[in-house]
Amino acid sequence: MKRIFIIFISVFIFILSACSQPLTPIMPMEKLDDEYYLKKIRTNPENLNVHRELINKYKSNGIINIPIDIYSKAVEKNQNNAIVYYVLGYAYLADGSAKSLELAEKNLNKALELNPQFVDALTALGDYYLKTGNEELAVEKWQNARRINERFAPVYLSFARYYRSKKQYTKAEQEYEDAILWTSAGRAEAYMEFGTMYIETNDLTKAEEMLLKARGENPRSSAIHYKLGQLYAIKGDRDSAIRSYRSGRKFDPNDSKSAYELAYIFLEKNDLKYAMLSFERGLVSDGIDEETSKELITSINKGVGQGIEYLVKLADSKQSKNFDLIYFIGKLYLAQNKEDLAFKYFQRGVAMPNTNPDVHYQLGLLLEKRKPQIVKSEEIVKPKVMEDKNKESSIKTQSIESQSIVEDVVQKADAQEQYRKAVDMGSSEAELLFRVAQGYLDEGQEDKYIEVAEKALTLEPNKLDVHLKLAEIFLRRAEEYKKNGKLDDEEKAILNSIKHYEQVTTLGPDAQRWYNLGMLYERAGKSRAIKAERAYEQAIQIKP
């Protein structure tokens, strides 16, 4: 292994000598270029954690092209080395674009072809499958990695992230604990994610405990300081939030994203002044000039209205292409219940090239709430000659109502379009998914309804009406399969109907529902006869 890495590093040195052009911009705190990258690798070349940490660091600074370029050239010079294929695959996976994901799969599979017991590559391949929507294969690869090495910490982190995304927090908690147990390095990352999960579950005491442990493991991590700042903002401790944010800026003054996230937390707390002040810090990190910064702070200190007015002025002039600003103004107006103005800025936001899922979701919600606007046309103009005034009124009313219905249908369709864009961009909010599912049902697209509704139920399983609708759909399909002699499909549909109807009786038990469940069990065959009897007994207990 050591010999392989010596060859690996010597290849890097050869590559560097052949490079005539610098590959990266200079960062203020560290010169994150290819020379810095290789210098860090040389400190511990056999530690793949070092490679992963550097890849993630360069990704977060928007220069993932550097490790990709370095590892690509290394592969060209060393085509029988599983490690270089793995780190290249990992770099492509971190990049995350459609093309890079294809290359990630290719290189990770090549690494496994050269070394089938390579747990790092197996785990990364599982991460790839999760990113591309194949959860079953992702879990299979992670399980294989764990069978090979049950003390391999990164695979526990992958499982933890997976369960956390499903809101299966008890399982995620156990995986995070195991990841921390089996790692001697990189605990800061696990503690930080653990703390972030507790923020999601609103257990702020445990969140603070984990984030403080993360800071203890890596006190120079700006991300940990920023996350602590967000936690304190959520707790309403403004002073601690600002102190933590300032500590983070010492190590990374260019992290505008964290400043924006802090701004949105203050916004949710209805602290509009500090939301704008935090947002100003993000704008500074993104490069606004000193004079504009001072003018903005002065305006904010004069009052919320003046602060918003100045932000609007920026959005209509030299920052007109700044999506983050356009979106933030929309959220500010939404916080003030000025929905028409919020609508205006969300509309601007969705038309920009670098949108986020939430701007589409928020626009969809506003479209759904807006009253249909009636546009006058010749169809509803009062006739010049009309003897029956009641008839005239009736015609006019019917025309207006007809126009209103048309406008309402159009707006709902527009709302659905925005919801679906949000989902396509990766949003996984349960309520959004339920709205998208309902839209598909209204359009008669049952297969799409089933797909999206069942995904939403993994996030929010207590939606009785959705379980009931799915049970009805599967039961109707079972009848159709029976008529067409498709017995296997009929059995599957009945079992799916039972699965959802069991949830119906759990969430909203009554005699009729228990009786219906008993009938479904009977139809499923003798194997469920006992369950059928118990369901009937439950029905009788509720309504003798």
Residue 14 belongs to some domain of the structure: no
Calpha distance 326→316 (Å, rounded): 9
Asked whether 93 and 127 are in contact (CB, 8 A), the reply is: yes
Calpha distance 224→187 (Å, rounded): 12
114 pLDDT more than 70: yes
CATH of the domain at 489: 1.25.40.10
Residue 430 belongs to some domain of the structure: no
523 phi and psi angles, rounded to 5 deg:
-65, -30
Residue 432 belongs to some domain of the structure: no
The Cα-based distances of 28 to 53, 152, 253, 254 in angstroms read: 19, 35, 8, 8
Residue 524 belongs to some domain of the structure: yes
Asked whether 431 and 366 are in contact (CB, 8 A), the reply is: no
Q: Answer positive or negative: Cα dihedral of 280, 282, 283, 289.
A: positive
Residue 425 DSSP one-character state: T
Asked whether 460 and 430 are in contact (CB, 8 A), the reply is: yes
What is the reported pLDDT for 382?
37
For the segment 443-451, the average pLDDT, to the nearest whole number, is: 95
How does residue 408 score in pLDDT terms, banded at 50, 70 and 90?
low
Closest CA to 108 of 239, 100, 292: 100
Asked whether 501 and 521 are in contact (CB, 8 A), the reply is: no
Token pair of 326, please?
Answer: 């356009």
Of these ranges, 171-185, 245-259, 359-373, 468-482, the one predicted with the greatest mean pLDDT is 468-482
Closest CA to 274 of 235, 246, 300: 300
Cβ burial of 362 (10 Å; 0-12, 13-18, 19+) is: buried
For the segment 428-442, the average pLDDT, to the nearest whole number, is: 93
Asked whether 504 and 471 are in contact (CB, 8 A), the reply is: yes
27 pLDDT more than 50: no
What is the reported pLDDT for 241?
93
Calpha distance 480→426 (Å, rounded): 35
Residue 127 belongs to some domain of the structure: no
Token pair of 299, please?
Answer: 């305006």
Average pLDDT value for the chain: 86
Residue 275 belongs to some domain of the structure: no
Structural domain containing residue 498: 462-544
446 pLDDT more than 90: yes
For the segment 87-109, the average pLDDT, to the nearest whole number, is: 94
Calpha distance 221→218 (Å, rounded): 6
Q: Cα torsion at 349, 350, 354, 359 (round to 10°)?
A: 80
Domains identified in the chain, total number: 1
Calpha distance 80→78 (Å, rounded): 6
Tens of pLDDT, residue by residue over 232-275, are 999 999 999 999 999 998 888 888 888 999 999 999 999 999 99
Closest CA to 231 of 269, 270, 265, 256: 265
How does residue 394 score in pLDDT terms, banded at 50, 70 and 90?
low
Asked whether 355 and 323 are in contact (CB, 8 A), the reply is: yes
Kind and range of the H or E element at 323?
A: helix 323-335
Residue 208 belongs to some domain of the structure: no
* Residue that has been written with the tokens 């770099």 in this structure: 91
Cα angle: 142, vertex 70, 37; to 5 degrees:
90
Query: What is the total residue count of the chain?
Result: 544
Tens of pLDDT, residue by residue over 482-500, are 999 999 999 999 999 999 9
Calpha distance 481→339 (Å, rounded): 48
Of these ranges, 1-10, 83-92, 394-403, the one predicted with the greatest mean pLDDT is 83-92
Asked whether 126 and 141 are in contact (CB, 8 A), the reply is: yes
pTM over cut 0.75: no
Residue 543 belongs to some domain of the structure: yes
What is the reported pLDDT for 9?
42
Of these ranges, 27-36, 153-162, 175-184, the one predicted with the greatest mean pLDDT is 153-162
Q: Is 337 left (phi over 0), alpha (psi -120 to 50) or beta?
A: left
Closest CA to 490 of 503, 506, 478, 476: 478
Calpha distance 326→7 (Å, rounded): 51
